[in-house]
Amino acid sequence: MPDTAVDIGVVRLANPVIIGSGDHAMTAGGLRAGLATGAGAVVAKSLNESEAAKRQLDGSDHVLLDSLWRPVPWDFDPPADAMLFGRSGLHQAPPEDWIAEVAAADRDAARSGQYVIGSIILADLDTACGLARRYQAAGIRILELNIGAPHGDEAAPGAIVQERAATRVREITRRLREAVTIPLWIKLTGQSEDVAGLALAAKEGGADAVIVMGRFMALVPDVETRAPMLGTAGAIGGPWSLALTCRWLAQSRRKVGRDFPLLGTNGARSGLDVARFLLAGASAVEMTTAVMAGGFGAAARAVRDFDGYLARTGGAARDLVGLAADRQVGYGVQPDRPGYWRDFVPAESR
């Protein structure tokens, strides 16, 4: 049996697969189905107290696109190149109801060595601190705060906030750190020119772990209707996001140090992708699109396939963390490949 356990500070996960927050994790049934996949943890759908954010859920719309921008059916069997483009909102239940459900699910999870993680998306900082205290009082063992939701600029005023300034990230984290003592994971935007700098700011503010990184805002023109698909800009992510996330994981690792736990999100679709994220510096990986588009079976497959990968290649999961990140060499001439550039230009241009 390969050793798939990973540590994120004081938290030990049985394996590095985490089902990320999203609309599949918005009911007690969804949280139970997530745990049944064998994933190390499930992040519950986020809430805040903004009425605008709740209303926004009713305006949610999504489309799956292949890599040639053609819509593909939403039949829970997506092609490997499927990208998810769309817009979403936040949980509509009164916070006390959802917090109680998430806490109950986390109690169940504890019995099987798993976790259900409570999640807040930032709107108002004082309110977020209050919600964090309520999560802790309800018995939740890990809290995630997303301060980088991609829709921050498009959403209705006051609905959600996307923080791109290190000073704000440090201050917000510090305030939440003062509010609760349970492990606090900060989820960052990918739409920053210095994601690694934001990771450092969250560490300095007292985060126990940092999640790199949110999806990107996009506009997809439809050549038939000549209108934007879904009528608006929206968030996008695809298998290609993995490489961008991995690069920021590696940069963040350099900045925050090898001992500070990072988590990866944005681009993982399979067990091998989980390994890729670990090699880039993540200690665990949050998968959302794979489950939204492919059903909970996609997470169960990722757990199995990661297991199979470790069994085939050897070693323990925790030993993979950062291996590829730390083997990067500079852009100088590679001794075994001098003048290699000629192979990449047409013969006429050499």
171 binding ligand FMN? (CB under 6 A): no
Distance of closest approach, residue 198 Cβ to ligand FMN, in angstroms: 15
267 binding ligand FMN? (CB under 6 A): yes
288 binding ligand FMN? (CB under 6 A): yes
Contact range with ligand FMN by CB under 6 A, out of 49-57, 98-106, 156-164, 288-296 = 288-296
Query: Which residue lies nearer to ligand FMN by CB, 2 or 247?
Result: 247
- What distance in Å separates the CA atoms of residue 262 and residue 270, rounded to the nearest whole number? 19
Contact range with ligand FMN by CB under 6 A, out of 17-25, 102-110, 194-202, 339-347 = 17-25
Distance of closest approach, residue 226 Cβ to ligand FMN, in angstroms: 26
215 binding ligand FMN? (CB under 6 A): yes
Hey, how many other C-beta atoms are within 10 angstroms of the C-beta on 329?
6
Contact range with ligand FMN by CB under 6 A, out of 265-273, 297-305, 306-314, 317-325 = 265-273
Contact range with ligand FMN by CB under 6 A, out of 104-112, 153-161, 283-291, 294-302 = 283-291
Query: Which residue lies nearer to ligand FMN by CB, 50 or 289?
Result: 289
Place of tokens 């499930």: 42
237 binding ligand FMN? (CB under 6 A): yes
Q: Mask of contacts with ligand FMN, 297-336, x by CB under 6 A? A: ----------------------------------------
Distance of closest approach, residue 133 Cβ to ligand FMN, in angstroms: 19
Query: Which residue lies nearer to ligand FMN by CB, 23 or 124?
Result: 23
Residue/partner pairs of 265-268 with CB below 8 Å, 24 or more apart: 265/20, 265/187, 265/211, 265/212, 265/213, 265/214, 266/190, 266/212, 266/213, 266/214, 266/215, 266/237, 266/241, 266/242, 267/237, 267/238, 267/239, 267/240, 267/241, 267/242, 267/243, 268/242, 268/302
Tell which one of 16, 22, 261, 322 touches ligand FMN (CB under 6 A).
22
251 binding ligand FMN? (CB under 6 A): no
Distance of closest approach, residue 289 Cβ to ligand FMN, in angstroms: 3
SS3 per residue for the chain? CCCCCEEECCEEECCCEEECCCHHHCCHHHHHHHHHCCCCEEECCCECCCHHHHHHHHCCEEEEECCCCCEECCCCCCCCCCEEEEECCCCCCCHHHHHHHHHHHHHHHHHCCCEEEEEEECCCHHHHHHHHHHHHHHCCCCEEEECECHHHHCCCCCCCCECCCHHHHHHHHHHHHHHCCCCEEEEECCCCCCHHHHHHHHHHHCCCEEEECCCEEECCECCCCCCEHHHCCEEEECCCHHHHHHHHHHHHHHHHCCCCCEEEECCCCCHHHHHHHHHHCCCEEEECHHHHHHCCHHHHHHHHHHHHHHHHHCCCHHHHCCCCHHHCCCCCCCCCCCCHHHHHCCHHHC
286 binding ligand FMN? (CB under 6 A): yes
Query: Which residue lies nearer to ligand FMN by CB, 88 or 114?
Result: 88
64 binding ligand FMN? (CB under 6 A): no
Contact range with ligand FMN by CB under 6 A, out of 16-24, 31-39, 99-107, 321-329 = 16-24
Distance of closest approach, residue 350 Cβ to ligand FMN, in angstroms: 40
Tell which one of 21, 50, 162, 283 touches ligand FMN (CB under 6 A).
21
50 binding ligand FMN? (CB under 6 A): no
151 binding ligand FMN? (CB under 6 A): no
- Tell me which residues touch ligand FMN (CB under 6 A): 20-23, 45-46, 84, 88, 90, 119, 121, 146, 187, 215, 237, 241, 265-268, 286-290, 292
